[in-house]
Amino acid sequence: MDVFVSGPNSGNMAVTLGLVALLLLLSTRAKILDTNGAVAAALLGLLVGGLGHWTWLIILLGFLLSSHKATKWRFEEKQALGLSESSDGHRGWTNVVANGAIPGFMCLIAIVVQEWDIMVWLFGASVAVAAADTFASEIGSLDPRVRMITTFQPCEQGLNGGFSPNGQVAALLGSTVVAMLTFLAWTLTAEEDSVLNGPLLAVILGVVGWIGCQIDSLLGAVLENRGYLTKGSVNALSIAGGVVLMLGLLAWTS
């Protein structure tokens, strides 16, 4: 039973089931997700681990745990300013779907094309954008030096399209965490004859996640603030933009 073979197989599924059980346990104890959110995350985890690889699920768990820490950072202050999305910092199923739909779709593509060495980087890009955006929102929201991304004029904290110095650093931190986990996943599962340059792609992935966060801010400023898009659709579009960018850079470096 080889646990380092990607796709549906007994070894991969055994580890995946264990990780999903761990996800549910951590979510319950730490109040990371509400009940519906936990169910959605468990289903997503089975999809990601079963069709991709359990190391891909590690990437997703890393995002979930680190973003929860970012959410809980100075939570009372954010709550007092009306910048928190929930009363106790947990996330619901809509957040899981907004951030996890495209990563899940990457797993479906992987199983269809039977290619995991490349797809892990596209999967990582989708998670890196979500992580960068979450870190920027949760940590940058308390930085009063906020400017609108379209005009660079000062604006109020928490406004869609606003960015701050702390938020930019936090976005890069979030995407870097995912880039490191993606490099680890690729290292553990890559074919021996793989010609991909893993360290270079890890650096590129960290930058792509940060760029995806800027796409999110632009969409928020131009379309969400005018009522043309919802927060969830902005998240999905920015994540898709990060995947497309990563695909182009993969082709360029190969």
pLDDT for position 86: 56
What tokens does 134 get?
């979450």
**Is the predicted pLDDT of residue 204 greater than 60, yes or no?**
yes
Residues 7 and 4: their CA atoms lie apart, in Å, by 10
Give the pTM.
0.94
φ, ψ of residue 152 to 5 degrees: the values are 65, 20
Residues 62 and 137: their CA atoms lie apart, in Å, by 18
DSSP code, position 229: S
Reported confidence tier of residue 254, pLDDT bands at 50, 70, 90: confident
For the ranges 25-29, 196-200, 232-236, 243-247, the lowest mean pLDDT is seen at 25-29
| Residue 48 is assigned to a structural domain of this protein | yes
**Is the predicted pLDDT of residue 171 greater than 80, yes or no?**
yes
Cα within 13 Å of Cα(253), Cβ side: 19
Residues 209 and 51: their CA atoms lie apart, in Å, by 23
Quick: pLDDT tens for 51-106: 999 999 999 999 988 988 888 887 888 777 776 665 565 778 888 888 899 999 99
Short-list 247, 181, 238, 189, CA closest to 214: 238
| Residue 113 is assigned to a structural domain of this protein | yes
Residues 44 and 8: their CA atoms lie apart, in Å, by 15
pLDDT for position 15: 96
Average pLDDT over residues 197-218: 97
Cα within 13 Å of Cα(242), Cβ side: 38
| Residue 206 is assigned to a structural domain of this protein | yes
Percent of the chain residues past pLDDT 90, beyond the cut: 70
Average pLDDT over residues 205-229: 96
pLDDT for position 98: 85
pLDDT for position 82: 72
- End-to-end Cα distance, the chain: 32
* Residue of 195 and 136 predicted with greater confidence: 136
For the ranges 5-19, 83-97, 208-222, the lowest mean pLDDT is seen at 83-97
| Residue 3 is assigned to a structural domain of this protein | no
pLDDT for position 30: 77
pLDDT for position 213: 97
| Residue 229 is assigned to a structural domain of this protein | yes
| Residue 4 is assigned to a structural domain of this protein | no
| Residue 126 is assigned to a structural domain of this protein | yes
Give whole-number Cα distances, 132 to 99, 176, 216, in Å: 11, 8, 10
Greatest alpha-carbon span in the chain: 58
Type of residue at 150: T
Structural domain boundaries enclosing 160: 10-253
Average pLDDT over residues 202-211: 98
Percent of the chain residues past pLDDT 70, beyond the cut: 97
pLDDT for position 88: 60
Q: Is 54 exposed, middle or buried (0-12, 13-18, 19+ CB in 10 A)?
A: buried
| Residue 1 is assigned to a structural domain of this protein | no
φ, ψ of residue 154 to 5 degrees: the values are -55, 145
Type of residue at 176: T
Mean pLDDT, the chain, whole residue set: 91
Average pLDDT over residues 156-180: 94
How many independent structural domains does the chain possess? 1
Cα within 13 Å of Cα(25), Cβ side: 6
